[in-house]
Structure 1
Amino acid sequence: MGSLKPTKKTMMAQQYDARDNELHLNEIPIPEPKSHEILVKVACASLCHSDVMHFEPNDQGLILGQNPVTIGHEATGYVVEIGSDVSGFKEGDNVGFICAVDCCFECEPCKKVHNAWCVTGKQKMQGFSCNGYFQEYVCVDARNTMVLPGELDANSAAPLFCAGVTAFHGVEDCGLKPGQWMAVIGCGGLGHLGIQYAKAMGLKVIGLDIAGRALEEAKRSGADHVFNSMTEKDWQKNIVEITAGGVDAAVNFTASKKSYDDAPAIIRPGFGILMVVGIPRQPLEFNGLDIALGRYRVMGSNNGTCYNMRPCIEFSAKHGIKPHLNYFKLEQVPEMVELMNSHKAQGRMGVQFD
């Protein structure tokens, strides 16, 4: 790896433009860090389904700030320059980070819920309301940044800083004990990590998807059983039989409303959990009688703050959790989006910067 410092004042960035609903490879200025920020040379930025929501009609709260905006909120890189108020980092450190900026990090929502609900109302999310990570350099808040454990590599750990944190807490927050059953709904970019985390926690896992490649990924990640919920007629009945009454938790990583509608049939009655992680375009619907009479519980899981990022990353390093990451060039990000939309991707897709 050569010099980390930029040799010019501009860089190329994949930016979403709401005026034509397209991505454009634009030349933009390289940012300078504020006193509380770190300038990072991006090693790898990976694509998340939330990035694709830019292009879709969606009423679930996606907020676009500046336009055009560099997409991407999942990356790792190398420290280039440190703001005057920052300590604990040095030039060349391999780091990962998450995307909230301009929030206080001290209010109760920031500490215990999510930075999206910061009481200041000034919060932004990189990749959505301000520039994200599909660009060579980015300024990140030092409070949202950590040096990578030695077992992790900056060129391959990028998915852990969104997909990993999201999948880890989606699984862990269910509170299951070793030997209990978990269904992982959606075995792609998040789900293949969720399966690895669940197995590392001692759970028995059933993988559900509609794409053959994702189900192959689920098997490689350690799933005990897999089902194609589109082509296998009796998949719900079979799951109930295998688990002797239903899974103890079903974690849904998909953006499919139908998958949410189908999930209660495979959950063990009486305090089984439906964990909401994936965000469909349409509002979700639940049967009030089911909830009132305790057929199952509906929960959500925090998808990453500076307060719960580190446990996931350290667990990943300790247990050898590895994203399946396929590499592309910056100009190929539109191709990555198409592969994700067509369900032809396996694991995670990322841009590796030179």
Structure 2
Amino acid sequence: MVAVRTMRAAFYTPGDNKAVLKDTPIPTPTSKQVLLKVAAAGVCHSDVYFLSDDVANPRTYVMGHENVGYAVEWGSEVTGIVKGQLYAVWDSIPCARATPGFPPFSDSIGLGENGGFAEYLVVAASELVPVPEGLAPEVAAVSADSLITVYNAVHNVAELRPGTTKRVLIYGVGGLGHQAVQLAKSYGATVYACDFKPEARELALSLGAEQVFDHAELTAATADTAENPFTVDIAIDFVVDAQSFNLISNAVKRVGGDLSNSGGVVVLVGLSSAQLTITPIIYITWHINVKTSIYGTIDDLKASLDLLARGVIKPVISTDSLDNINKVLDALKANEVTGRKIIMPNSGVAY
């Protein structure tokens, strides 16, 4: 009898608000798949969201949708993969087959299909992008979700480009927002930031933000009664709740007061169960353009890896072990994490 090879993994299980750590068989790649030894996997607010009571998901799967790993073995139809090469995984494919009642990406890796909070992971070869030489796994990992999401929101949805002179407000300087500050700044934007955490505001300033606000300060600055109300061209919201939506709407509305221009832009990023109220006459008459953004394309992943390799984006990260996954999730839920938290399922050991 051949012994079954097992690995440690953290599972989402229906009705459980914690990740369940247990041993499970190491997966075998199909003809078009590659087996990766997971080097690093980012922890996301989406993981907290899916473990919350807001989601009733009947499936059991390994969590983790921000992954890089070393190629170990692959199926008979796979070509071009290099053994021992570090690859980033295009995890949350927007057009993936969806479980009825869930959004299209819900059957992607770590969001319905088995993900990277494990020692090994199988993925389709078409979802792999080589990590540039010299880029550490824990740094490269952010390209696979947080930075690709930032890039899509800033570059594609907000349509910022190098050489811009626009004023941009980043709301929420967390695992994604602190990278958005850097990207917008690198394009030439004048960047402002809002966060309730003093350390997050300090981080934004250290990354080049012109000015930072807490909630009360931004409320006062954008009030109609302010002597010179604070205004930006674009506001990108990485929190997406009723408070943030109202504040950023106030920050962009005066840009659209002149009928000769296209108005201010609000970009809502990521997953949120918040109930947002839109009063049409305000958004129409002030020319406020509300856009949404989540994840990005495989080309956006390649662009994100390039930004990291060139040092344009320098993510603030800290690492932890797979055994501590629930402690990390609890800290993220309690807003105690600065920057991005990365799980190292194999203790960072290379292939």
Deviation at 1:13, TM superposition (A): 0.8
In the alignment, structure 1 residue 126 sits paired with structure 2 residue 99: no
Corresponding residue for residue 27 of structure 1? 23
Indicate how the Cα distance of structure 1 residues 122 and 74 shifts in structure 2: closer, same or farther if over 3 A, else same.
closer
User: Could you tell me which residue of structure 2 aligns to residue 175 of structure 1?
Assistant: 159
Pairing 1:116-155 to 2, within 5 Å after superposition = 116=96, 124-155=107-138
Matches of 2:343 and 2:208, distance apart in 1 = 26
Identity of aligned residues (%): 28
Aligned residues: CA RMSD = 2.7
From 321, 326, 332, the equivalent of 2:318 is: 326
Q: Distance in 2 between matches of 1:287 and 1:57?
A: 29
Question: For 1:146-192, what per-residue CA distance to the aligned partner results, in whole angstroms no more than 9, with x for missing partners?
Answer: 00122522232212210000011111121235221110010010000
Alignment of 1:89-104 (within 5 A): 89-100=81-92
- Residues in 2 aligned to 1:122 and 1:168: alpha-carbon distance in whole angstroms: 18
Aligned mate of 1:300, from 292, 298, 307: 292
Cα distance in structure 1, aligned partners of 2:325 and 2:105: 29
Gaps of 5+ in 1: 1-6, 102-113
1:288 aligns with 2:271: no
In structure 2, relative to structure 1, the CA distance for the partners of 1:335 and 1:190 (3 Å cut) is same
What is the rounded CA distance, in whole Å, between the counterparts of 1:196 and 1:137 in structure 2? 32
The one-character-per-residue Cα deviations of 1:11-62 (angstroms, maximum 9, x if unpaired) are 111112223322221111110111221111111111011010122233xxx6
CA–CA separation in structure 2 for the residues paired with 1:79 and 1:91: 5
Selected match of 1:14 from 10, 19, 35: 10
Counterpart of 1:192 (choices 139, 154, 178) is: 178
- Matched residue, 2:204: 218
Distance 1:74 1:168, change over 3 A: same
224-233 vs 181-190, greater mean Cα deviation: 224-233
The Cα of 1:293 is off from its aligned counterpart by 2.8
Counterpart amino acid of residue 17 in structure 2: N
SS, match of residue 130 in structure 1: coil
Give the direction of change, closer, same or farther, for the CA distance of 1:184–1:123 in structure 2 (3 Å limit).
closer
1:344 aligns with 2:336: yes
User: Which residue number in structure 1 is paired with residue 139 of structure 2?
Assistant: 156
In structure 2, list runs of 5 or more residues that go unmatched: 257-262
Query: Aligned-pair distance for 1:88?
Result: 2.3
Please tell me the residue identity of whatever aligns with 1:336.
V
TM-score (norm 1): 0.85
CA distance in 2, matches of 1:54, 1:236: 34
Kindly indicate whether residue 213 of structure 2 is the aligned counterpart of residue 227 of structure 1: yes
2:259: which partner in 1?
none
Report the number of matched residues. 330
Aligned counterparts of 2:66 and 2:17: Cα–Cα separation in 1: 21
Query: Which residue does the alignment assign to 2:260?
Result: none
